[in-house]
Each structure stands twice: as structure tokens, then as C-alpha cells.
Amino acid sequence: MKGPRSQVALAALLFVAVSLVALTRAAAPSPPLGIPADWVGPWKQGDLLFGTDEPQQTYRQAVVGNGYMATVVGSPDIYVSGVFNGEESLSKRARLPATNAITVTNALHTGSALNIREGVFYRRSYFKPCIACAEADIEQRWYAHRFYPSLLVRTTVSPTNESITLTLANNNGTATTDLDLSPYGAPPGLAVIAGPTRLLETPKQQPTFVAVATNNVPDSITVNATGSSTTFYFITAIRTNHDSEYPIDAALTDLQNAQFMQGSLRKHHIEEWEKIWEAGIEVGARFELGQAVNSSIYYLLSSIRAGDYETNSSRFGSAFRVKSYSVSPGSLATTGYSGHSFWDGETWMYPTMALFYPEVARNLLQYRSDRIPEASANAALNGFKVGLKFPWESGYTGSEVCPWPPGLFEHHLMGDIALAVQQYWRLTRDKQWLKEEGINLAVGIAAFWISHVEWNSTTQKYSINHVLGPDEYATGPDNKGINDNAYTNTIARISIEFAAEAMQILGLKVDPVWLNISSNIYVPFNATGNFHPEYVGYEYGQVVKQADTILMGYPALDQLPEQVRRNDLEYYEEVTDINGPAMSWGMFAIGWLEVGEYQLAAKYFNQSYQLNLNLPFNAWQETVNGGCPHFITGAGGFLQGLWAGFGGVRILNDRVVFKPVLPEHTTYLKYRQFHYLGSQIDIAFDDKQITFGLTSQGAQALAVTSSKGDKQILGAKSPVILPTASAPFYLSAYPQ
């Protein structure tokens, strides 16, 4: 029998200082053949992905990015957040020619690695200048600097006792057709190109001006026989008029400052990633799952960062305004889906960010807030009297840039954004944010739904017509949508209810008509089958592209009877396209765990990632057959399966619920720096007990309550330890 001493021992094991733990504690199998000895340790910890051969296809290659810029390693392309080219529906992320896709052409490749913890890609090779000569080992490194976001760094390191000459080639591809780039004057050894984007999303938009400063890449470099390592730095600095008043001067200054401190660049970069990894998800004893978790978080954070702040000259050569941009399904490193923002940000990627990286999550909401004027104009343009209609596809301006006509009817996006606003409020209770930003989104979206509903004399309820739900196979007559999509109508109701709640919190008057409408929105239901048809007129057996109706249970958190929830899952698992997008399967896993079907949940959880990760660097793809490359939407859905599914996490109005169960073949799960009401909590559980440990205390005290009703205050030196069997657990403010 385990007594109190055993509990304390487990707590000590699970809450050892973050600086001493790896990203995952999964037990590693035997190291892969060919891995260098000094990479084995990070690989065993789940921090490093290794391949003896680098993939030639860019959809399988690793990405380096920092949320401001990103590139697929070795590709001829660099992309910068917020830089688009093209008119209206032809808008796409603008391509910059790569300046750092450098290869050593006369060396033999021996292996490559993506070090997830460091945010650095490594390529190793060797050069043998003559038969009698010793081999010279060469290591190339790529990283988009996390601390200095304007910098993209590539280095070559070679220790040798022989003088050798290495030949270089840069894969910068063809000239870009997205910007009018011209050379500008630069000091010897440096080059600057700069210019505006060629085509604008809207006539009112000003061109985006981009400046790129870089080292000149020579045809060869000579390494002298010093007996110690020699490092060559190839640094690129990129600035735009979104973040700098004088982009050319700023890029050149950043480059020169980086050259001056080049010996410490990697150190500062790694230190910044170490801070990021203080939060996250830890897996015990299942190695491949741990690697998938770590790489998924890495790829998400390579494409987005906290926004809307200004750094000063102590950090950069000149002020750097980090603006708020959203995230695209194909990451920041590709033009997948043209680099546009969809519901993917708020529904699939945002929730994990909100729990572990709230400043990054707030950036996604700020992107929408900044574009409220465009959303208001878009609503009026589409015949809605009031409210906010955000575009299904959004680029830089926030105007509609969707090239696919049915996409214009995907109005569920408004509800998806409202759910994200509600989640942020519930996690933070930040009344100042609600007053300044959240209320405008919440009320504007609610007003859109009020303008959208139509009284249906047959059902004696309000209908929402001419919409397209997440199931994009159901485009309706003439591609103008269907009526009363169950998920869309559900989140429309929730949007209005939350707006009313937010108004009451801020002392604003709520129109009773709104509440009457919200309580009378029609949701189709088949009483005979005791399940929800996807929409009015849905034909039994019709194939569905992706998770749609089942999203009513999660993430919408509609209070469905358990048998109805089960029936919805049973029906839609049979008709959902097996070749659909990856994120659907995580939603089935979450749903089956809700109703206690562990084996089915395990099946769909595995399906949510195992067939969509491209080895050796775990690059995501949209479907089992391919689709959008570097599909980080899939990463978002998969990660939710780990905390909303196996953690049973539900973020409610006055508490967070936990109903933990371990994934198969794991020994524990741990959520590091789970953010709630200004505090950070480490939450770890195995099959016997769960531990809540406070790592940072906010202004609001917290308490944990078990299903038996016993409540314990969470203190800095007093973790709460409870038997897992006494789930569910409730984390809440104290006093409540």
C-alpha cells in the first residue's frame, strides 16, 4: 500500500526543475544507425530528429522559423509574416529568394538532425582532400533567430589539421515575381536588395516594402590548418515597413550588429527556445509519441509568436515593431493555401497556445481585432445590416481573398472566433482585455448572427440559411450553401450567449431580443435515430469531408445527452472520409473518451498523427495521401487530443475540469506551465494519482476540488496530490 511518503516521492519526481528535464521522458529504443555519438543523448530525450539521408522533397524536409520568418531547409524560398502579393482572391504569401540555402558541394553527407529543443537544423558531412589526408568533419547549422526575429543564420563549422577548400552553392531559385527587388548600396562583402510587393489585395492598401541584407556567398571558402574549429557565418537580416520606419537601414544595421556579435548568436537563440520549452506537454514511456508532441509544438511556434510589441535599440540596431498576424494551415514556411488564415488558427492551433503560451494565443485574437473595420465592411457588402463578417480566407488586409466561391458561405468562422474569445476570457478573466478588445469581437460577431437568422414558420425556430459547415463536400445548390448546419447553429447560439455575458460583466445593457433568438435557434435532430443530421436535407450515408457535427460536443462544449453524443460519433465515424484532413481524428478521440470508449479513442488518436508525419523530421501533411505540406493544422488537432482527450480538460466559465486517463503504452502525462487566471501550474498524472504543482502564483488564489467534494488550496510549496480514481477534478479560483 502506498502511503503519504510514496505520494511525496512521486511529486518530487514529477516536479523536478524544468531546466533539468527533457521535453519528454519517453523510453527510447536503440539509437538509429549512423547517428553521431554526440547526438544520441538529445535523440534519446526526444529533443532531436535524425536522418542519415535528407529528403529531397520539401514537404518532408524540416522547417526553421521564428514566427516572423520561416523557410524549409534547403529550399529556394523564404517567407515573412504579413507579406502578401496579389489582387483580391489572387493574394498569396510573397516569396523571397533564399539567401541561406547553401550547400557544401565537395563534401559527403553523413547525417542531418533537427534539434527541437534548440530550434537548430544540423547537417554533417566530411571532406577528404587527399588519400593520405585525414577527413575533415563539417557541420552546417540553420536557424531563424528566436531572440532577434529579423535574423536567419547559417553557419559552417569545420575542425581540421589540413588546409582545405570547400566549394559552396546557394539554392536561391528563380527571381521572385512577387516583389520588385533592386540592389542597394552596401559595405564591402555585404549585399542589400529591397523593393515593394507588386500587386495589392485592395486598392486602399499600401505596398509592403521589404529589405534583405546578407553576406555575399563566395564560390568557396578555405579552412586553414589551425587544429581547432573554424566557423563561417552567413547571416540574413530582413525588415519590412510593417515593423520598421526605414527597412533598408534597419536590415543593414541588424546584419552588421549580428556580425559583431556572431559568436554568441546561437547561444542567445538557444536560450530563448529553452524559455519556450519551460511550458509544454511531457509523455512518459512512449518514445515516438513524445517525438510527435515535441515536433508538433516546435512547428507551431516556428510559425507564430507573440505580437504587437516594440523592441528598442538595446535589442536591435533600430526599433522593431512586432505586429500581430495569424497563422496559415501550411505554416509560415510555405504557400500552402496561399498562406491565408482560416478557421484553422482559432479552432485548431489556438487552443493549445492559449493553455501554454497565452501571449501567442492573444496574438491570434489581436489579428482579428485589428481587422474589425474590414469585417464590418464585409458584413455590409454581403447584405448583413450589422455585425462582423470576417473573411473565410484572410491575408494582410482582412478583406476577403477566398478564390473558391463556396468558401464565402463558411460562416461558422464567426462562431469559431467567438469560441476562441470565450476561451481566452475563461482562462484569464482579464477584464481590461475584455473591455478594450474582447467585447468588440464578441458583440460584433453576435450582431452578425442576429442579422443572419430568419424565422422559420415550419419549425417555429430561427434558421440560419445559406451556409457551408466544416464539411466542404456539402456545398449546397448552386454552391451557395445549405440551411441549418448543426454545428454552425450551435456556435451561433453560444456566440450570442457569450456576448450577452460579456456585456453584463462590463455593465452594458443586453437587448432581450438577443437572448430570445439565441434560445430559439433551430438545430436539426433526428428523433428516430437519436442523432444530429449535419444540416436540413442531409441524406443518410452521405460522405463527410471532415469533423463537423461532432464538433458540437467539443470544442463547442454543447451539453448533449451522452447517448446522443455517442450516436453522433458512431454515425459520423462511418461516413467521414478516411482521406480527409488529419485534425478530424483527434476530435473523434476526444469524443470517444468522453463516453468512456477507450479503445476507440486510442485508435483515432493514433490515426490523428501516425499517418500524417513525414519522417525523418516529422513534417506534417494534410491527408494520408498528401495535400497541403507542413500542415500544422493537423499538429493543433493532435495536441488537443492529448490534453482535451486524455487529460479530459474542459475550460468552463468558473473552473477547469480534468478527467485524466493515460494514452496506451504511456506511464504518465505532464502539462508544464498550464496557465490559468494568471498562475502557472504543472499538472502530472499516472494511473494512480494526479499532482497539481504551482510554479508561478498569480493575483488570484486557486484551489483543486475532487469529485468527492474535498477542496485544497494550491500553494507554492504545497502541491495538491489526489488519487486519479477520484476524477473529475476542478481547478478554480479561491474563494470562488
Check: CB of residue 93 under 8 Å from CB of residue 335. Answer: yes
Decide: 81 and 332 in contact? Cβ < 8 Å: yes
Instruction: Tell me if residue 683 falls in helix, strand or coil.
Output: strand
Amino acid at 616: P
Cell numbers for 652, please give them: 468552463
Per-residue cell: 129:
582532400
Q: Longest C-alpha distance within the chain, in Å?
A: 92
Q: What is the DSSP letter of 79?
A: E
473 contacts 539 by C-beta, under 8 angstroms = no
Residue 703's H or E segment, with its range, is strand 702-705
SS3 per residue for 548-561:
CHHHHCCCCCCCCC
Residue 603 CA neighbour count, 13 Å, CB half? 8
Report the helix count and the strand count for the chain, using DSSP H and E: 17, 35
Q: Residue 269 in contact with residue 145, Cβ under 8 Å?
A: yes
Catalogue the E-assigned strands of 105-172. Answer: 108-115, 120-127, 136-144, 151-159, 164-170
**Cβ of 358: how many Cβ atoms within 10 Å?**
20
Which residues make Cβ contacts (< 8 Å) with residue 113, sequence separation at least 6? Answer: 35, 39, 43, 48, 49, 50, 51, 121, 122
The one-letter amino acid at 543:
V
Beta pairing, strands 120-127 & 136-144: antiparallel
Q: Which SS3 state, helix, strand or coil, does residue 13 take?
A: helix
Rounded CA separation 483/495 (Å): 18
Helices (H), 453-561: 486-505, 512-518
Amino acid at 450: I
Rounded to an integer, what distance in angstroms lies between the CA atom of residue 22 and that of residue 154?
26
Q: Which residues are catalytic?
A: 472
| 8 Å CB contact between 372 and 388 | yes
Verify cis geometry, omega within 30 degrees of 0, for the bond prior to 719.
no
CA distances from 370 to 98, 324, 344 (A): 30, 8, 18
The closest of 272, 275, 281, 271 to 672, measured between CA atoms, is: 281
CB neighbour list of residue 65: distance below 8 Å, 6 or more residues apart: 71, 144, 302, 303, 331, 332, 333
Cβ neighbours for 83, distance < 8 A, ≥ 6 positions apart: 93, 94, 96, 197, 208, 210, 240, 242, 396
